[in-house]
Chains A and B, each alone.
Chain A
Amino acid sequence: MSNAAPTPDTSPQIPTFLELCAGWHKAAENIEKFNRLLTTDAKIAQTPKELIWTLNKAKLYRYAPVVPKEEQKRTPLLMVFAIMNRPHVLDLRPGHSYAEYMLRHGYDLYLLDWGAPGPEDKNITFDDYTLEYLPRVIRKLKSVSGSDEFSMLGWCLGALISTMYSALRPDDGLKNLILLTAPLDFADKTAGGFTRWSSNPAFNPDTIAEKLGNIPPEMIDNGAKMLKPIENYFGSYTMLWDNIDNPGTVEAWHAMNTWVRDIIPMAGATYKQLINDLYKENRLMEGTMKLRGELVDLKRLKANVLNVIAEADHITPPCQSERVMDLIGSQDKEVFRVRGGHIGIMAGRGAEKNTWPHIESWLAARSD
C-alpha cells in the first residue's frame, strides 16, 4: 500500500443528460434576460424635481430638498451638463445618484437640461448657450433661490460653457466653479482621437454642418464609441453577459445603458465652432475666443475653481484640462485627479467613495 496522497482527477467531466438540459435551460433564460436589458429602459433620473424655467428646448429644474431648511447650504448649486447628451447621468438611479448625494448634504440643487436641438436650432452657437441661455438660467436661479451668489458645476462641454461664462461675467455672483473633464486646451494635436481626427485636413466640419444641418446623434455617438471600439462595441456586452446573475451589476449596467442609448443631435453651428475655433485653432487658450464680439479673457475668471481631471479619459485627455489653471485669475484653485474615465469618475462604482465626497467637501467649505 502506498501512503502518497491521491492525485486529483483533472480530466474533463462528461456532463450527464440532466446537467446538459439544466445548462441549456439556464442559457436560454440568460439570453432572454440579456435581450431584455439591451432593448428596454431602466428607470433613471428618479429624484423628485420641479421644472422652474424653460426657453426653447432648454429646461431648468430645481430638486426637492431633503434636509430641513436650517441645515441647507446658503449657496445654491447649478449643474450644467454637456450639450450632446442628456443630463440624467447626474441622477442615474436611486441609491447611486450624484443629485441625491448632494441633496442629502443640504444643497439647494438645480439642473440645466439643454434639450435636443431641432432643425430650427441649427444656427445656435456657443455664443447663444453662453450669453443668451445661461445668463437667463442664472437669473431665474437667483430669483427662485433668493441668493445673489451661486456655485456652478460644468461637465465636459458644459464645463467649457461654464468656463467661458465665468470669464465673461465675473461679477455675476459666481462663487465656486467646479469643472469636470473640461475640454479647454487643444494645443496637443495628438492627444485623443477627437483632436487627431478633427485636425486632419480631410475632415471638414463646415461641409458636414452645411449638408446635415444638425449633427445626427448616431454620428456623435459612434464617434465617441470609436475612440475605444472594443470596449464600447464588445466589452460592455461581454461584461454584462459574464455578470448576468449579479443583480447589482446588472442594475448598474441597465441604468448606464439607458442613458447611453438616449442620444441627441448637436446644433450644426455649435459643432462647426467647436471643431474650427477650439479643436483646430485652440482659441480659448490662445486668448482669441470671442463670443458675440466679447473676448473671453480667462484672467477675468475669479471664482474659486475645483478642476476635476479623469486620468484615463479618452474623450477629454487630461492635457486638455490642465493648462487653464495657469491662465485663470482665481486665487483659490485646486486640481483634483481621479483614476477613471470621462463618465466613470462621476457615475462609476467608485464615484460615491472618491469623486463625490471630494467635490462635496471642497464645496461645503465655500458654500456659506
Chain B
Amino acid sequence: MTKTNGDFNPFDPTGMFKGMRDANMDAWSKMMIDLVNTDAYAEATGAALNAWLTTSGPFRKVLEDSMAKTLEQLNLPSRDDVTRLAERLTNIEMRLDDLDAKLDESLRPSHSGEN
C-alpha cells in the first residue's frame, strides 16, 4: 500500500499513520490483554452484565406477556407452543433413531449369519 522507507514524509499521511500504528500496536495489545486479565475488569464486566439483565428483565417480561396474549387473541401459536412442539419432535426423532438402530442391528452381516 504505502512505501515505508523509515523517513518522515509529510506527503504520505497513510505512511505516517501506519508507522505510528506499527510502533504502538504491540504495546497497546499487551496493555489491553493485561487490563482484561485483571480482577477489576472481571468484576466490572460481571456487574455491568448483572445490571443489564436486571434492568432489561421487567421490560422483556412485559413484552413477552403482551406478545403471548396478542398471539392467543389471533389464534396463533406462541413461542412456548412452538418450543413444546419442537421438544416433542426431538423425542419422536429419538424414537425413530432407536428404530433405525434396531434395523441396522438386524441387517448386520454377523447377525444375518446367525439366523
Contacts and interface: CB of A to CB of B under 8 A. Distances in A.
A12 interface: yes
B37 interface: yes
B46 A143 contact: no
Interface in B53-83: 53, 56-57, 60, 79, 82-83
B42 A15 contact: no
Given A136-B97, A200-B43, A204-B50, A238 B21 contact: yes
Contacts of B86: 118, 120
A231 B79 CA distance: 39
Contacts of A196: 37, 39, 42
Given A13-B11, A55-B93, A143-B104, A229 B39 contact: no
Given A56-B93, A229-B36, A203 B45 contact: yes
Q: Is the contact region of chain B dominated by helix, strand, or loop, or is it mixed?
A: helix
A188 B33 CA distance: 18
A197 B42 contact: yes
B93 A211 contact: no
B23 interface: no
Nearest to B31: A230
Q: Is the contact region of chain A dominated by helix, strand, or loop, or is it mixed?
A: helix
B31 to A, nearest CB: 8
B93 to A, nearest CB: 5
Contacts of B8: 12
Interface in A188-208: 193, 196-197, 199-204, 207-208
Contacts of B83: 118-120
A227 B36 contact: yes
B50 to A, nearest CB: 7
Contacts of B14: 27
Given A120-B87, A238-B21, A211 B57 contact: yes
Which 7 residue pairs spanning A and B have beta carbons closest together? Answer: A202-B46, A120-B86, A200-B42, A203-B46, A230-B29, A143-B104, A120-B83
17 contacts: A12-B7, A12-B8, A13-B11, A14-B11, A30-B1, A55-B90, A56-B90, A119-B79, A120-B83, A120-B87, A136-B101, A139-B104, A143-B101, A211-B60, A228-B29, A228-B33, A235-B25
